[in-house]
Amino acid sequence: MENNETTPPVQPAAAPRPMGAPPMHRESSAGPRRPGGPGRGRFAPRRKVCRLCAEHIDLVDYKQAQIVKTFCTDTGKMLSRRITGACAKHQRQIARAVKINRNLSLMSYN
């Protein structure tokens, strides 16, 4: 008489979980991220710092054409604050300087 019923010793399936433990808690390693709708959150929000404030340039002079030109495209268009990150005070000074420089033909209009 053969005994095929080789029953393995009954093991407990898993260690009993404590009652208060959350099931499969997923750690977010991406850091703090703002919840947003679709289209948001593809780029990490980064606070831009005004470059002129960082360099402690109080007044943007139109004669500093090298500084003014860094806030413009190659074709001479002014870049917006959204792109340059300049503060309102410096953006006004940049806009003034660009217009003066255009009038003095230090910069191009187009």
Instruction: Please tell me the distance from the alpha carbon of residue 100 to that of residue 63, in angstroms, as a whole number.
Output: 9
* Footprint of Zn ion (CB under 5 A): 50, 52-53, 87, 90
Long-range contacts of 99-104 (CB under 8 A, 24+ apart): 100/62, 101/62, 101/65, 101/68, 102/76, 104/62
Least distance in angstroms from the C-beta of 50 to Zn ion: 3
Using CB atoms, what's the residue nearest to Zn ion?
50
Least distance in angstroms from the C-beta of 64 to Zn ion: 14
Q: Give whichever of 51 and 69 is closer to Zn ion, judged by the CB atom.
A: 51
Q: Give whichever of 26 and 56 is closer to Zn ion, judged by the CB atom.
A: 56
